[in-house]
Amino acid sequence: MNNSKISVRYAKAFFLAAKEEKVLEKVLGDMKLIRGSYSTPGFKEFLESPVIKTSETRKLIKNVFEKNLENLTLNF
């Protein structure tokens, strides 16, 4: 299976979960916030760095976004 099929499946599952929990608009706002964060110098590089452990990346994301994101988005 190629990456585009996988990403479509994840996106569809995320969309359906947000719709089911009636937080679709909030999740859309979350996605815009996260996308905007990519323009912060060094943020994208930090997330994509093979040197930094995944557990450390998750901690950073949780600390930065925890108060601003829906639980569904944060857990996704």
**What is the pLDDT at residue 64?**
86
Within 10 A of 72 (CB to CB), how many other CB atoms are there? Answer: 17
**What is the pLDDT at residue 17?**
97
- The residues, any chain, with a CB within 8 Å of residue 18's CB and separated by 6 or more, are 24, 26, 27, 70, 72
Q: DSSP alpha helices (H): ranges in 21-53?
A: 24-37, 43-48
**What is the pLDDT at residue 1?**
57
Q: What is the pLDDT of residues 20-63, one digit of tens each?
A: 999 999 999 999 998 898 888 888 888 889 999 999 988 988 89
Domain borders along the chain are: 3-75
**What is the pLDDT at residue 23?**
97
CA distance 24 to 30: 10
Short-list 37, 14, 36, CA closest to 46: 37
Which amino acid appears at position 29 of this protein?
A: G
**What is the pLDDT at residue 21?**
96
